[in-house]
Chains A and B, each alone.
Chain A
Amino acid sequence: EDQVTQSPEALRLQEGESSSLNCSYTVSGLRGLFWYRQDPGKGPEFLFTLYSAGEEKEKERLKATLTKKESFLHITAPKPEDSATYLCAVQDGPKLIFGTGTRLQVFP
């Protein structure tokens, strides 16, 4: 059965303190790995899709990377506005299988 595990569950960072979020997955055949940002009480906001090992994508202070077993979301010099829950999901046919997310808090 396809499974997605995210770590850590929660992360507290000082503004400017870079770090990485991990998403490990087991799927029979990866069709795509998605990263979303979710603010409290709102729907997930699309960030990246990665399709093959070795692929990297960047957006502002965020960089997503993919290996055969896991993906990392690197946050460089985060700001308080980066505080949110970051969700990872793998595509299984038409549907996405999500992890439980990493709750990130960035303090000034």
Chain B
Amino acid sequence: DTGVSQNPRHKITKRGQNVTFRCDPISEHNRLYWYRQTLGQGPEFLTYFQNEAQLEKSRLLSDRFSAERPKGSFSTLEIQRTEQGDSAMYLCASSLARSFEGTIYFGEGSWLTVV
């Protein structure tokens, strides 16, 4: 068990380009979460999957953002037409629980810089 894995760790992109981040959760974890964190702030919830179903999306997740979790395994977060305001660290987390209780483990994050 190597923990939650995220790729790439760093991405610099030009404004208007599309970027995609990948997250591999801890094996057998049925819940997967995406958060965003900017400097000096705590992580903010973006979206959540249980198995392959996306069950909740924050209003922070604009139409330019899309997340998928095919087959309930890894997940991707795509940002289309990036803007400078999208610069942040994107964190993936996973948990195994039958209810909402359960330890939530985070990955190391993917840093996005939009220039």
The chain B residue sitting closest to A103, CB to CB, is: B40
- Which residues of chain B (56-74) have a CB below 8 Å from chain A? 56, 58
Q: Are A49 and B103 in contact (CB under 8 A)?
A: yes
A43 and B100 in contact (CB under 8 A), knowing A94-B55, A98-B44? no
Candidate in B43, B100, B106 with the most chain A CB atoms within 10 angstroms: B43
The chain A residue sitting closest to B109, CB to CB, is: A43
Answer whether residue B21 sits at the interface, using C-beta atoms and an 8 A cutoff: no
Number of B interface residues, CB 8 Å?
27
A46 and B100 in contact (CB under 8 A), knowing A98-B42, A98-B44? no
Residues in chain B near residue A96, CB distance under 8 A: 35, 43, 45, 104
Residues in chain A near residue B58, CB distance under 8 A: 95
Contact-residue size bin, chain A (C-beta under 8 Å from the other chain): 20 to 34
Candidate in B31, B58, B104, B109 with the most chain A CB atoms within 10 angstroms: B104
Residues in chain B near residue A46, CB distance under 8 A: 103-106
A102 to chain B, nearest CB (A): 11
B64 to chain A, nearest CB (A): 21
CA distance A91 to B42 in the complex (A): 14
Give chain B's interface residues, CB within 8 Å of chain A: 4, 6, 31, 33, 35, 40-45, 48, 50, 55-56, 58, 91, 100-101, 103-109, 111
Give chain A's interface residues, CB within 8 Å of chain B: 4, 31-32, 34, 36, 41-46, 49, 51, 87, 89, 91, 93-101
Q: What 7 new A-B contacts, CB under 8 Å, besides A41-B109, A93-B100?
A: A4-B42, A32-B101, A43-B6, A87-B42, A91-B100, A91-B101, A100-B40
Q: Can you list 24 pairs linking A and B with CB atoms under 8 Å apart?
A: A4-B42, A32-B101, A36-B106, A41-B109, A43-B106, A43-B109, A44-B43, A44-B106, A45-B106, A46-B103, A89-B42, A91-B100, A91-B101, A94-B33, A94-B50, A94-B55, A95-B33, A96-B45, A97-B45, A98-B42, A98-B44, A99-B42, A100-B40, A100-B41
